[in-house]
Amino acid sequence: MRCRQSGCPGRYADDGFCDECGHKAGAGPDSRTRVAARGSLGANLVEVPPVPLRDPLTAVQANPSVPERNRYCSRCGEPVGRAQPEGFCPLDGTPFSFVPRLRPGDVVAGRYEILGALAHGGVGWVYLARDRNISSTGVERWVVLKGLIDTSDPDAISSAISERRFLVEVDHPTIVKIHDFVQHPDPASGRLVGYIVMEYVGGRTLKELGRLPLPQVIAYGLEVLPALGYLHSRGLLFCDFKPDNVIHAEEQLKLIDLGGVRRIDDHDSVMFGTPGYQAPELATAGPSIGSDLFTVGRTLAVLSFDFAGFTTRYAGRLPDPADVELFRREESYYRFLHRATHPDVRRRFSSAGEMAEQLLGVLREVLAAADGKPRPAGPVRFTPERQVFGSADGELVGMQVATALPVPLVDTTDPAAGFLAAMSAATVDALRAAPQQTREVRLQLVRALVDAGDTSGAADELWSLPDDGTDWRLTWFAGLITLAAGRPGDARAQFDAVYWAVPGEPAAQLGRAVAAELTGDRATAAHHYERVWLVDRGFLSAAFGLARMRLAVGDRAGALTVLDEVPETSSQQVAAQIAAVRGGLDHRPGVLTSTDLLKASTRLERMRLDTRREATLAVEMFQTALRWLGRGVPPPVDGQMLGHGLTERELRFGLERNYRILAGLENDQRLRREIVDHANEVRPWTFL
């Protein structure tokens, strides 16, 4: 709908405000101040402080100048203008000027009245102007003018402007609106200069905000990635993303500089990039979606820690985690940045959507680790865990774990995706008989062969699939195969590689955790089990794994805490409480106390177990109590354990009673006699 404000050519956008003058639909004619709608920074997971709008006139530089250290020849790149702001390069004679060409009061294209210079960019000065066509109606519209091309060839200017007309059609809430492209003669030389006319966004650039808390940095990344994805979907590249080119105004973010935007298939236009942010292949291979994503990764790094030397020593790489406390604390974030800025463009994220998806997973982990509150998400790249492993006593078995771990979701774009979704049971025979042996069908066949215990067949099928090194799913299935084959060391390396590829996936860390446990690295296993459990309480295997790791180092209280966090609605809640009863009884000499025995008793009495499991646990508890009693003469203890005092006579009666309960439940005559014999052996002497 057209704007109802007199003289305004704009239209009302989805948020109810005019895209030209900011007039609110349905408001009176004097309602001319646009109130920003509440943004969604951080996917509604992070509270990002709003940045107040800035009076445009206060943003104008009083004495605009370019520091001498930033003065270089536009052709050869050598330092110039160290003494004078205007002149000629002594090496190639290229004229230079670091003085604003436009001054307050100048009118560009008969419409845009210059109010002053805002900043100096890569192609010249950026100016604040008033749009006279709108201002004449009584509504102030501020715009920004930025030099588009610097050339004495009028045809080149016209061609450049014509080529960039597509930017007017760019329409995204996180991308600054392009209003116009104009030409204006340089006041000194008279030659034409092209300008891009953009909306003015009052706020502060991310560069001005400086280093920020990690959740806020990630929130910014999640906001700009969809904007870049929008450009990519239209065949465009941003090219020069950096903190200077993003403004936070109130509760919204805006990409503010489209001067470097070019078409993906444009191999001739001047390339834009900034040292420290630009991808290493830019000079040889040119810009790409991968190079755009590289700049986002570098920007997030600069905003999140003291990245000294990012334009020099670390221009093409990240610092070692040993040198950055944030990387040591938040390994998933480090791995995310590592993939985003990988020197091999093929190893980076394939799209802005994939990058945002993994970044959101990292954010959920960061927040959960900070306050202990889970932030689960639905399946993104993996199924839920297929079974819970490690909930019962006994050592973990690689084959059992391999058939329990999540598996990658089927690619819905695969021609056989519908066939796979309709299958009632994806067995080996059914998959071999599939009408199309597509990549997804063959991957599911690998899974089915692993589940059937045929690790050799699964390996043969997996190795026959084409692999260009970018499909992490092949590596995950390789991890399942080696885990099932009893080679946890190999599985650990493979799951670790998957964690590098999808650092926002809890399933990747779960695989790494169990492989670390099976190789004896309890510290690594505990760390990853804990991270998975903190994020998503749906990964119950992580709870049991974390409890095992804590018990292994004598942290009984920590183990019981995590087992008590298993929800009452979970099918594993009883198993968790049984594990908690057993975990509360430390069998090491001098560690178990009467308090531990009484707490375990209270826990067992609260549980609703069937008779057999209750009696089995009771037998274990009475046996443990008798061993505890036999290590010395403890002081008298008030209270009872399962209805019996903590004396040898009482404990023997309790043990006898539960043996006889188990005997009554046993159908095997031989086992029943053995249990009765045990009951008779432990029964204390009595007198008739």
Predicted confidence (pLDDT) per residue in 254-294, tens digit:
999 887 889 999 888 778 889 999 999 998 999 999 999 99
Is residue 35 assigned to a domain? Answer: no
What pLDDT shows up at residue 123? Answer: 67
Torsion of CA 514, 515, 516, 522, to 10 degrees: 40
What is the Cα–Cα distance from 303 to 283, expressed in whole angstroms? 25
Are residues 106 and 169 located together in one domain of the fold? yes
Same domain for 542 and 597, yes or no, is: no
Q: What is the pLDDT of residues 49-99, one digit of tens each?
A: 999 998 899 999 999 999 998 898 878 889 999 989 999 999 999 888 889
| Active-site residue flag, 371 | no
Give the chain's domain count: 4
Tokens of 80: 């110039």
CB contact at 8 A, 140 and 56: no
- Residue 440 within a domain: yes
Condensed to tens digits (0 to 9), the pLDDT of residues 334-368 reads 999 999 999 999 999 999 999 999 999 999 999 99
347 and 438 fall within a common domain: no
Residues 190 and 215 reside in one and the same domain:
no
Give the pLDDT score at 26: 56
* Residue 63 domain-assigned (yes or no): no
pLDDT for residue 32: 34
pLDDT of amino acid 209 = 95
Do 190 and 226 lie in one domain? The reply is no
Torsion sign across C-alpha atoms 605, 606, 612, 613: negative
* Residues 469, 562 within the same domain: yes
**CATH assignment of the domain containing 422:** 1.25.40.10
Domain that holds residue 474: 397-569
198 close to 177: Cβ distance less than 8 angstroms: yes
CA-to-CA separations, 656 to 245, 626, 650, 681, in angstroms, rounded: 78, 12, 10, 8
Residue 17: the pLDDT is 52
Task: Identify whether 237 is part of a domain.
Answer: yes
**Residue 132: inside a domain:** yes
Upper half-sphere CA count for residue 257 (Cβ side, 13 Å): 26
Q: Give the bridge partners for 248, in sequence order.
A: 204, 253
- Identify the pLDDT of residue 158: 63
In a domain, 534, yes or no: yes
Same domain, 300 and 434: no
Q: Would you say 525 and 516 are in contact if contact means Cβ atoms under 8 Å apart?
A: yes
* Active-site entry in 131, 180, 240, 244: 240
Q: What are the start-end ranges of the E strands in 186-336?
A: 192-199, 204-205, 236-237, 246-249, 252-255, 262-263
Whether residue 487 sits in one domain with residue 425: yes
Alpha-carbon gap, residue 150 to 595, rounded angstroms: 82
Whether the predicted pLDDT of 38 surpasses 50 = no
Res. 12 pLDDT band, cuts 50 70 90: low
Coil, helix or strand at residue 247:
strand
> Do residues 409 and 556 both lie within one domain?
yes
Last residue of a domain, one of 166, 199, 232: 199
Which of 569, 597, 632 lies at the terminal end of a domain, its last residue?
A: 569
Pair (276, 364) in one structural domain: yes
Average pLDDT over residues 457-480: 97
Q: Is residue 627 domain-resident? A: yes
pLDDT in tens, 92-151: 998 888 899 899 999 999 999 999 999 887 667 899 999 999 876 777 899 999 887 555
Contact 564, 408 (CB under 8 A): no
Q: With contact defined as beta carbons under 8 Å apart, do 378 and 395 qualify?
A: no
- Are 293 and 168 in the same domain? no
What distances in angstroms separate CA 283 from CA 71, 275, 286, 309, one per listed residue?
A: 22, 12, 6, 21
Which of these three, 371, 388, 413, is where a domain ends?
371
Q: Report if residue 525 sits inside a domain.
A: yes
- HSE-CB at 579 with a 13 A cutoff on CA atoms is 31
Mean pLDDT, range 435-458, rounded to an integer: 97
What's the chain's average pLDDT? 90
Residues 411 and 532 in one domain: yes
* Phi and psi, residue 622, nearest 5°: -65, -40
